[in-house]
Amino acid sequence: MKPTVTRIVGYVRVSTEEQVDGHSLDAQRREIERYAERQGLVLVNIYADEGVSAHTDQIEKRPQLDALLTDASRGSFDAVVVHTIDRWARNMRVQLETLSRLESADVGFVSLVGNFDFSTSPGKLHLNMIGVMNEFFSDQLALHVLKSQRHKAEGGLPIGPVPFGYVIGTSGEVAIVEPSEGEAIRQAFAARAAGRSNGQIAEVLNGDGFRTRKGNFFTAHAMKDMFNCRFYTGAVLFQGELFPGRHEALIADELFDRVQARRTHRGPHRRTSDRPRGVLAGIIKCARCGNSLHAERGRNSSAMYRERHGRDCETNRRSFMAHTVDEQIGQIIRSLELPTDWRTRIAGYARETNGPSVKSLKERKGRLARAYADGGFSLAEYEMRLVAIESEIRSTSISTSAPVEVEEVAALLSDLPSMWAEATADERGRLLAPIIEHVLVDVESKRLSSLVPMSGFRTLLDIGIQKTADCSAVILAPSVIPQAQGVLELVETGEN
């Protein structure tokens, strides 16, 4: 805990039936304001959940409590004050979880009635004891969950969401076949047993208008999971054991086994190649949607990049030869040259560049989560923006307080063009791995649009990369990833 508490926030809550004096929001606010005045503390904010029960075990259903915990993680205040402990939580799991989150954020907790004060040294000990209780409670909960899941499996009921092809019936427990999806499952298994590939079958399902349970396009990977799902044979699988299900089987055991045999069988004429994959394998992404591209080989064993995922994107499922982009990254690496005054320019760059602090990035992350909860973003856009922010949080600026690190980075970058010229394709990929976090490519034009450097390399790359006649790239901080269209415009106009 922090030794000194100067900034506090209040939390007040009433359920619908508690809008009376003593429990009303105004009454709770007055007590918290009096406490702050008596103690000489700064009351930063009061979070209020109105008409919400403290029995709920989902923090997301108490938006102001959720916001308070997010702000606590940013260090926006030193302690939380409530009128009584039951205003905070009546549900034991919620109480233990939220208090532990405050403790992790180094934020105290005070309940005016009952004199619970976790901002003091004895309070810290008390909160640590709560942490032990939380762990015990979590372990016990896990045991009860497993027991409940086994009971359902033994009774032939599905555990968790039912797979594509089924819906939960009016009973609320037994799965029933969804007619159109069920027929699609039967045809998919028959096609796979006849030798059609996972990708071809996925194309048929997508073309017929079907989507996964999460609303995504079917992919070859999704088909692998489907063809390995025992639920379609009328069984329920739990921890390696099969139990007879109460739902209708869509696939006979014999057909299921034939499909499984195809999954493990490798034909005698299967193509093999020891040729390397693309240089950018593992770090190349689509500039439009931020999803990774797959590094594959074409029919002649040439390296290729393919966009293949379950998200909406104009260029999804397109592919192109890897050398078209690999040559562009090669042009950029060969153009890398640190100027003789790079140390001076680094110092000036550091003074002129006021990048976002970790605190402000965490605040942005909290705002993003709230915007997604309010329906402001789709899941795909939220996940892409979240990855970008978390990447930027990890990224740190090069500072003059670490001259040895800067010298080492500079030495590596200075030698990179010559090493690149002598390296094989696989070796070039390994050279890029510690330097470049992501490379964004416009799949339609097959043009490199931006580089996202690893921590510690951005400043030196920014001053070291020179514009070439055939290719231009923009060095990006990770936070710029979601604005991919703007990046493409920069490339198309030839700006650096």
pLDDT tens per residue, range 38-68: 989 999 999 988 866 545 556 777 888 989 9
Q: Is the pTM of this model over 0.75?
A: no
Q: Residues 69-117: pLDDT tens digits?
A: 999 999 899 899 998 777 777 666 677 788 878 888 888 888 887 556 6
Q: Residues 157-169: pLDDT tens digits?
A: 998 889 999 998 8
Q: Which of these, 337, 298, 350, 317, lies nearest to 456 by C-alpha position?
A: 350
User: Read out DSSP for 432-487?
Assistant: HTTTEEEEEEETTTTEEEEEEEPTTTHHHHHHHBPPPSS---EE--GGGTT-HHHH
Q: Residues 368-391: pLDDT tens digits?
A: 777 766 776 666 666 667 766 766
Residue range 281-310: mean pLDDT, rounded: 83
Q: Residues 218-241: pLDDT tens digits?
A: 888 889 899 999 999 999 998 889
pLDDT at res. 351: 47
* Separation in Å, CA 449 to CA 87, 297, 317, 383, 464: 52, 23, 19, 21, 18
Name the amino acid, one letter, at 264. Answer: T
Kindly give, in sequence order, each residue whose CB lies less than 8 Å from that of residue 342, ignoring residues fewer than 6 positions away: 410, 460, 463, 464
Exposure letters 424-457 (e unless 16+ CB within 10 A, then b): ebeebbebbeebbbbbbbbbeeebbbbbbbbebb
pLDDT at res. 57: 56
Exposure letters 94-131 (e unless 16+ CB within 10 A, then b): bbbbbbbbbbebebbbbbbeeebbbbeeebbeebeebe
Q: How far apart are CA 47 and CA 459, in angstroms?
A: 41
Q: How far apart are CA 194 and CA 184, in angstroms?
A: 15
User: Read out DSSP for 302-317?
Assistant: -EEEEE--SS--TTTT
Choice between 439 and 274, residue whose per-residue pLDDT is larger: 439
Give me the domains of the chain, ranges plus CATH numbers. 7-141 (3.40.50.1390), 166-264 (3.90.1750.20), 328-355+397-492 (no CATH)
